[in-house]
Amino acid sequence: MMSLAAVQSVPTNNVAVRGGASSGQPVVQEQTAGTPAHGAHPRLETRALSVRYGGGAVGVADITMPVHANRVTALIGPSGCGKTTYLRALNRMHDLTPGAHVSGQVLLDGEDIYGPGVDPIVVRRRIGMVFQKPSPFPTMSIYDNVVAGLKLVGVRKRSVLDGVAERSLRQAGLWDEVKDRLKTGGRDLSGGQQQRLSIARALAVEPDVLLMDEPTSSLDPKSTGHIEELMVELKKEVTLVIVTHNMQQAARLSDYTAFFYLGALIELGPTSRIFEAPAEERTAEYISGRFG
Amino acid sequence: MKANRAASGQSGEACAASPRRIVPHAIYRRLGDRVFGALVLVLGSSIALLTVAMGLVLYRQGGAPIVRDGFFGFLFQTTWNPVTGEHGAWPFVVGTLITSFGALSIAFLPAIAVGIFSAEYAPRRVAAAINYLVDLLAAVPSVVIGIWGIFVFAPWMRDTFYMPAFYWARESAAWLLPVLGTPTSYNILTATLLLALMITPYTVALTRDAVRMVPREQREAAQALGSTHWEMIRMSVLPYARGGIVAGVVLSLARALGETMVVAMLIGNSNRLPYTLFGPAANMPSVIANEFREAVEPTHVTALMAVGFYLFLITFAVNLIAAYIQKRLNVGGRIL
Ligand SMILES: Nc1ncnc2c1ncn2[C@@H]1O[C@H](COP(=O)(O)OP(=O)(O)OP(=O)(O)O)[C@@H](O)[C@H]1O
Ligand SMILES: [Mg+2]
């Protein structure tokens, strides 16, 4: 595993166990990393993470939560509650938003990605992102789209690129549909195929973590099903954080669910518990569809 | 609103009974569509007709030498002498090609660079300053640039560059002399340089706008792969914007072809081929602007008209090429 930079290493096995819904603190009902529930440990962890936008708008405030390795963590909550804001803080996408300010820590394998000397470029290579809107590069062929990230790091060898293209497209469940037209434009694909192409492109650089912001919200049920299967398959190799407005989707495929409300983390826990016995009144209300 | 009132007038009671229903009946809404469509059609086709009519009039007025010498005969004839009644367009065609392509090749790389810089790299204030200057430069009347050229730029260029270059060439590079020629204040190089200055704001503005039109998702997709700023520009911004950028360059060429005032003031007005860099020359707009007042002979007038007709054809073709390029290279505008 490559290091982000020469940064002081922070021990990973001390996720705060926070409880007490009444205290106003989020309910983070979690095991410490040393004794995880299913052998998982936090690959990613945020501590007191806050994001403010220019003009003083608060995106999220004081989020402390772990993201476990090889698990799917779903972020749910009503529109505007800060899910996208939180997700984009995890791979430093806010660096590019004028006026946005991030405070707190995001630890990737114990290293703060906002620490001094950390190159955001390297962070984004390890923590990939798939957006709500499929965004293949329109002038590139399917093949070139998939290997775009590798070419950035200087991989030029044809055999390597070919291998990665096939592996990534297979992982994204797109190989069979496009293997005969890899040289054609990525724009000629359907929306669902384009989204899987975006996923393949993100996977090609072998990220440790993949962030997905409502990856299926513009897709039909069939493509959605496809991508959901894909996510379950993918978690063998990567850690997934997804934002979704679809409760069934969160319940179906995530291992952990985090409920956000008004920029705050209200509750985090194993998905089954969040959906069956939420500790917080607002979580229960949101899940049962009474607001949001 | 008018349609609505008409609707309530016709469907009478029904509408009055439901005052909250402000949407007019479908038939009137479709009527609105029709009216708008017809209006657009009339306006659009009248512009097209006007263009065609302009070309026709130019041809009718200036057709005589073209009919006499043939389309290419007039074009390639190298002598233009109103006194003897010889009229060939070639010296001006050559002058136009040199000034406009010269100006374009001087201006386009720096202009594209400035456009990309102001859209991508410049801090907000610097970008605002650049945009202001560019707009200002575009707004300066060309006669003002021309007068500045005549009284400031041209003498300065002659004293600072042309004369030293000429003396140097005479001493040590005599083979260059036929290209350079004897320095005069008003010459093809000065005109081309000022023309380059004049088209720069167009290329800058069109490049900048094309770059700004690149959707955020495209940029973020590249950045999420771990690209640096420049890699992002190369990977997603430029491919996306290339249609707009190239079309902007071609449109700047069209402008260079047609720009008259500055060239007419600074090119020196000589139709004697071959032209030299430091010597006077003429091009198609400049000959029209400079000679139409003295043109008393009907043949002279028609020949000037004919030159105008060729210029019209050339700019028309260049604009078509720009549109074609934009269409071929454009990737924006398609959903998903
Ligand atoms: N670029 C920005 N500038 C200023 N404020 C922003 C910006 N982006 C988001 N916000 C604000 O931050 C808050 C959180 O927005 P965010 O996009 O994270 O919500 P979300 O949970 O992803 O919502 P949705 O479910 O609708 O996508 C909102 O109040 C929003 O108005
Ligand atoms: Mg969002």
Q: Where are the domains of chain B?
A: 34-328
Q: In the predicted model, what is the mean pLDDT of residues B147-158?
A: 89
The reported pLDDT for the residue numbered B170 is: 82
Number of domains in chain A: 1
pLDDT at B83: 77
Compute CA distances A260 → A46, A132, A216, A237, B188, whole Å.
14, 18, 20, 27, 69
Looking at the domain assignment, is residue A225 inside a domain? yes
Please report which confidence band the pLDDT of residue B333 belongs to, taking 50, 70 and 90 as the band edges: very low
Domain that holds residue A168: 41-287
At A23 the pLDDT is 42
- Measured between beta carbons, the chain B residues lying within 8 angstroms of A194 are 336
CATH number of the B34-328 domain: 1.10.3720.10
| pLDDT in the model for residue B19 | 53
A-interface mutation test, from B225, B227, B233, most A Cβ less than 10 A away: B225
Ligand 1 within 6 A of CB of A131: no
pLDDT of res. B282: 84
pLDDT of residue B180: 76
Low-confidence ranges of chain A (pLDDT < 50): 1-2, 5-24, 30-39
What average pLDDT does the structure give for chain A?
82
Compute the nearest-CA separation of A48 from chain B (Å).
24
Answer yes or no: is the C-beta of A94 below 6 A from any ligand 1 atom: no
Sign of the Cα pseudo-torsion (A215, A219, A221, A226, in order)? negative
- Answer yes or no: is A7 within a domain: no
In a mutational test of the pocket of ligand 1, which residue from A83, A211, A216, A217 has the highest number of ligand atoms less than 8 Å from its CB?
A83
What would the pLDDT profile of B47-93 be if each residue is shown by its tens digit?
888 888 888 888 887 777 777 777 787 778 778 887 787 788 888 88
Looking at the partner chain, which of B124, B231, B331 has a beta carbon nearest the beta carbon of A138?
B331
**What ipTM is given for this predicted complex?**
0.79
Interface test with B, best of A132, A137, A187, A214 (most B CBs within 10 A): A137
Q: Which ligand is nearest to the CA of A83?
A: 1
Task: Specify if A292 maps to a domain.
Answer: no
Over residues A132-177, the pLDDT tens digits come to: 888 888 888 899 999 998 888 888 888 889 999 999 998 888 888 8
Q: What is the pLDDT of residue A281?
A: 87
* Higher-scoring residue by pLDDT: A254, B331: A254
- What is the model's pLDDT at position A242? 94
Share of chain B above pLDDT 90, in %: 14
A57 CB under 6 A from ligand 1? yes
pLDDT at A216: 86
In a domain, A250, yes or no: yes
pLDDT at A257: 93
Evaluate whether residue A27 is within a structural domain. Answer: no
Give residues with Cβ within 8 angstroms of B111, minimum separation 6. Answer: B199, B200, B203, B204, B207, B252
Using the predicted structure, report yes or no on whether residue B16 has a pLDDT greater than 90. Answer: no
Report which of residues B258 and B30 the model is more confident about: B258
Predicted local distance difference test score (pLDDT) of residue A183: 84
Q: B107 or B306: whose pLDDT is higher?
A: B107
A119: domain CATH number?
3.40.50.300
**Residue A134 contacts B, CB cutoff 8 Å:** yes
Who among B217, B231, B239 is closest to A135 (CB)?
A: B217
Higher pLDDT, A234 or B14: A234
pLDDT exceeds 70 at position B332: no
Residue A166's Cβ-count burial label (10 Å; 0-12, 13-18, 19+) is middle
